[in-house]
Amino acid sequence: MTTIVRDFRTEDAGALVRLRRVCTPYLVTTEEAVLFEVATAHPAKKYRLLIAEEDGEIIGTARAGIVHDSSEPGQSSVFPEVHPDHWGRGAGSLMLRTAEEHLAAEDVRSIYAWVLDEPSSRAFAALHGYRPTRPAHFQRLDLAHGTLPGLPPLPAGAELRTAADYADDPRPLFEADAEATADVPDDIGLAFDDYEDWLNHTWNHPLLDRALSTVVAVDGEVAAYTLVQTDGRTRYWSGMTGTPRAHRGRGLAKLAKTDSLRRARTAGYTDAFTANDADNEPMLAVNRSFGYEICASHVRHVRTFD
């Protein structure tokens, strides 16, 4: 059997989506999203989407790029995925080497990668010089059969909106998202200050479901929000849920998630997914209260260069 690694081509989109649904079924993706991410990647990201092909069959993929919005220069990431039926045949190593050569040409200092938390995947990472940094849990909620909490009473001055209500001016959502994201624990600090980039890659992303993304406004100000991605059929992903600092401790983020999940179920979505840092017990507890259960765990790894 002959394995080659090459760059993604437009006609690969369907096969790539089918592969991802096997490798990472807890992520939401569509052909439109894959094509969008390739076509609109920020030039500074130096994004490459690699394909591993074995005797003409697509068996793996890897996303590689510079973290161009990092507050620390020289950060990059790679995310290789190989169909489980083809593990141990060298496709992962070949994709990783190709990605590392691409990133090394950009003088990166560190390459971060998410690795499935199981023995062979962790051993693969260690073999290639990556060390673990932080674990994360992916969680699934059975929207079709689970029991969601009721919608709590709205606090004084609060109202429920959707992201669609900000179509004429999404900047208030951007500002809330930037402030909340800045406080999320992460190995890679982000300089979240580029409104145009947020418009291009968050607000205009084809997976963003503005109708199901709930915003809690208090006295007209964005006080909490949940940005939701869907595949337009059955799968729902909590992209980011946050509360600006001045409104924390009032349960507003849970209010936003409750409203969004209840409306998603009414709209016919059957599977909801999310992810949290394994040390973020408060958020994990909130998700458990909705009925989310851990369906997979990953461990972020890093390889550094002198």
CATH number at residue 279: 3.40.630.30
Neighbours of 88 (CB within 10 A): 10
Residues spanned by the domain of 179: 141-296
Give 1-60 pLDDT, tens digit per residue: 799 999 999 999 999 999 999 999 999 999 999 999 999 999 999 999 999 999 999 999
Pair 241, 158 in one domain:
yes
- Nearest Cα residue to 208 out of 237, 167, 169, 168: 237
Predicted local confidence at residue 69, as pLDDT: 82
- Does residue 279 lie within any of the structural domains? yes
pTM, entire model: 0.93
Pair 238, 177 in one domain:
yes
- What is the Cα–Cα distance from 110 to 124, expressed in whole angstroms? 18
- Nearest Cα residue to 172 out of 229, 206, 219, 211: 219
Predicted local confidence at residue 305, as pLDDT: 87
Give 242-282 pLDDT, tens digit per residue: 999 999 999 999 999 999 999 999 999 999 999 999 988 87
Pair 165, 285 in one domain:
yes
Pair 160, 17 in one domain:
no
Pair 145, 292 in one domain:
yes
- Does residue 65 lie within any of the structural domains? yes
Give 55-97 pLDDT, tens digit per residue: 999 999 999 999 988 878 899 999 999 999 999 999 999 999 9
- Does residue 19 lie within any of the structural domains? yes
Pair 152, 100 in one domain:
no
How many structural domains comprise the chain? Answer: 2
- Does residue 170 lie within any of the structural domains? yes
Q: Which helix (H) or strand (E) holds 75?
A: strand 75-82
Predicted local confidence at residue 189, as pLDDT: 64
Name the average pLDDT for the chain. 94
Pair 91, 16 in one domain:
yes
